[in-house]
Amino acid sequence: MKATKEQLVDFLEIKVLSPAEHHTNATDVIKKKVRATRMRLNKLISAEKVEEFFWHAMASDNGIDSYTKIKEIGASTFEDVRAEFKKLCGRAE
C-alpha cells in the first residue's frame, strides 16, 4: 500500500510526535523539537516529500539529537517505527 501524505503525517503524529510531546517527562526542548517537526511535515507537499524528510531526519545531527532526548524519556522515535513507516510507503522489507 502506498499511503497518502495525510496518512503518513497522521501515522507519525499518532506513533511518535504526540506521545513524545505529551509524555510526562517531556522537556521544553523535546516539545519544541516536536512542534518544529510537526510544522515541517505539514508544509510538505506530497507523500514522497514526507518519506524523504523521514529518512533524512534520522540521519541529520538535529534528528540524532532528537532521538537521544526522546529515548531518554522512554518515548517512541522515528527509528522505532521505521519498519511500519516503510510498509506504509509501499517499500518492501
Assess whether pLDDT exceeds 80 at residue 92: no
Gap between the Cα atoms of 49 and 53, Å rounded = 6
**For residue 1, what pLDDT band results from cuts at 50, 70 and 90?**
low
Q: Is residue 29 part of a domain?
A: yes
How many domains would you assign to the chain?
1
Assess whether pLDDT exceeds 90 at residue 18: yes
Assess whether pLDDT exceeds 80 at residue 93: no
Q: What is the pLDDT of residues 27-84, one digit of tens each?
A: 999 999 999 999 999 999 999 999 999 999 989 999 999 999 999 999 999 999 999 9
35: domain range?
5-88
Gap between the Cα atoms of 71 and 67, Å rounded = 6
Determine the straight-line distance between the first and last CA of the chain, rounded to whole angstroms.
13
Q: Is residue 93 part of a domain?
A: no
Grid cell of 66 as nine digits: 532528537
